[in-house]
Amino acid sequence: MSGPAQRRITIKEVAEAAGVGVATVSRVLSGGSASPETREKVFAAAARLDYRPSALGRNLRRQRTGGVGLLVPDITDSFYARLADGVLSCARSYGEPVTIGVTGDDPEREAELIGALIEQSMDRLIAVPSGDGDMWAPALRAGLNVVFADRRVRTDVPSVVPDDRAGVLTAVEYLAGLGHRRIAFLARHGQSQRVTAFLSAAASLGLPVDRDMVVHARASRDSAYAAAAGLLQHHSDVTAVLAGGNVLGEAAVLAARELDVRIPRDVSLIMFDDVPWAELCSPPLTVIAQPAQDIGYRAAELVLRQGRRPPAVTLPTRLVVRASCGPRVAPRRSS
């Protein structure tokens, strides 16, 4: 089983072994000035004892915890997993550990997790915010260094987000170019950015803008499926749908199969977020690819780099056309 759990060795013992004072050891090990010979003695002693400075002691003294917190709605969602991978990758190059929490898109849980984080004296946080911007006031006041990723809910907090407006516009233009006029947007709650982009894109292309062409779902798979099925059933006039995320897209193809709506013959589908299975799907899905990993990486850079912080960075999306969109045919018959 576990060994005798030897006590961890402290700076004091290193000092003793090297025949110097603790202050000197600390100075040498953090790159301060010292005579070459003491430096040598200290390094030798530290190496011989396999000394690892305790982050606890350091942080307590320094009044700040290294490391960054990361809050995502659902680590199981490929998009957030890739985003997390990006921040992990950046944080690793800074040698900073990252503590992760999943909010389930629930503002209450989010607040809870923020509390836990500041209890750990974490002073840097990357978050995909769930609620509206107001609930962040206390955290900000507590001195937390926040960067938003994927969603921008406050203008006074740096954020890195995909270019929703351009992405939506590209998608809608593409569909309109194929002759579609009744295009629906399957959105997750909170995607107001994309919804307004969708409405204005439709308007600018002379398409009929109709408030109930946008259908909302909560973040869960079940809710997404219900919304997709509802859309496909009750709006037999729509000939194309734009899904606001990969779980919405998945729900849409599942619902379409169940309802015997063929893609792309009966309706065309574009999904936000390129995931590995989009190509494996039948039919392969045309998508708006988002740089999820970059978003995470850049957000981590923003929060880890001390310097000036640009208020917002927007990363481009890209249309990847596969086989889920076709020319508009006659509207489906009402079911």
Q: Which does 97 bind (CB under 5 to 8 A by kind): DNA, a copy of itself, none?
A: a copy of itself
Can you tell me the distance from the alpha carbon of 184 to that of 211, in angstroms, rounded to the nearest whole number? 10
Could you tell me which stretch among 6-14, 149-157, 190-198, 325-333 binds DNA (CB under 7 A)? 6-14
Looking at beta carbons only, is 88 or 178 nearer to a copy of itself? 88
271 φψ region: left (φ > 0), alpha (ψ -120 to 50), beta (else): beta
Q: Whole-number minimum distance, CB 70 to DNA, in Å?
A: 24
Instruction: Give the other-Cβ count within 10 Å of 68's Cβ.
Output: 26
Task: State the binding string over 101-130 for a copy of itself (x if CB under 8 A, else -).
Answer: xx------------xxxxxxx---------
Looking at beta carbons only, is 61 or 333 nearer to a copy of itself? 61
Q: Assess whether the previous peptide bond of 208 is cis (omega < 30° from 0).
A: no
Can you tell me the distance from the alpha carbon of 260 to that of 266, in angstroms, rounded to the nearest whole number? 9
Q: Which does 65 bind (CB under 5 to 8 A by kind): DNA, a copy of itself, none?
A: a copy of itself
Could you tell me which stretch among 75-83, 201-209, 210-218, 226-234 binds a copy of itself (CB under 8 A)? 75-83
Could you tell me which stretch among 30-38, 76-84, 141-149, 280-288 binds DNA (CB under 7 A)? 30-38
Give the pair of three-digit tokens for residue 100: 């992760």
Give the pair of three-digit tokens for residue 230: 């509802």
Looking at beta carbons only, is 59 or 196 nearer to DNA? 59
Residues 224-283 that bind a copy of itself (CB under 8 A): 250, 253-254, 275-277, 279-283
Element (H, E) at 242: strand 240-243
CB neighbour class for 165 (10 Å; exposed up to 12, middle 13-18, buried from 19)? middle
Instruction: Give the other-Cβ count within 10 Å of 268's Cβ.
Output: 25
31 φψ region: left (φ > 0), alpha (ψ -120 to 50), beta (else): left
Q: Verify binding: residue 183, a copy of itself, rule CB under 8 A.
A: no
Q: Verify binding: residue 22, DNA, rule CB under 7 A.
A: yes
Can you tell me the distance from the alpha carbon of 5 to that of 186, in angstroms, rounded to the nearest whole number? 55
Can you tell me the distance from the alpha carbon of 191 to that of 252, in angstroms, rounded to the nearest whole number? 17
Could you tell me which stretch among 11-19, 96-104, 181-189, 198-206 binds a copy of itself (CB under 8 A)? 96-104
Q: Whole-number minimum distance, CB 235 to a copy of itself, in Å?
A: 23
Write the CB contacts of 224 (distance below 8 Å, at least 6 apart in sequence): 186, 188, 217, 218, 247, 248, 250, 251
Give the pair of three-digit tokens for residue 191: 């995607």
Residues 35-74 that bind DNA (CB under 7 A): 35, 37-39, 51-54, 56-58, 60-63
Residues in binding contact with a copy of itself, number by CB under 8 A: 60
Looking at beta carbons only, is 167 or 296 nearer to a copy of itself? 296
Give the pair of three-digit tokens for residue 60: 């307590």
List the one residue out of 253, 241, 259 whose CA is nearest residue 277: 253
Helix (H, G, I), strand (E, B) or coil at 102: strand
Looking at beta carbons only, is 62 or 262 nearer to DNA? 62
Residues in contact with DNA by the rule CB under 7 A: 7-8, 10-12, 19-27, 29-30, 33-35, 37-39, 51-54, 56-58, 60-63
Residues in contact with a copy of itself by the rule CB under 8 A: 1-3, 5-6, 8, 52-57, 59-60, 65, 67, 74-76, 78, 81-82, 84-85, 88-89, 92, 95, 97-102, 115-121, 140-145, 156, 221, 250, 253-254, 275-277, 279-283
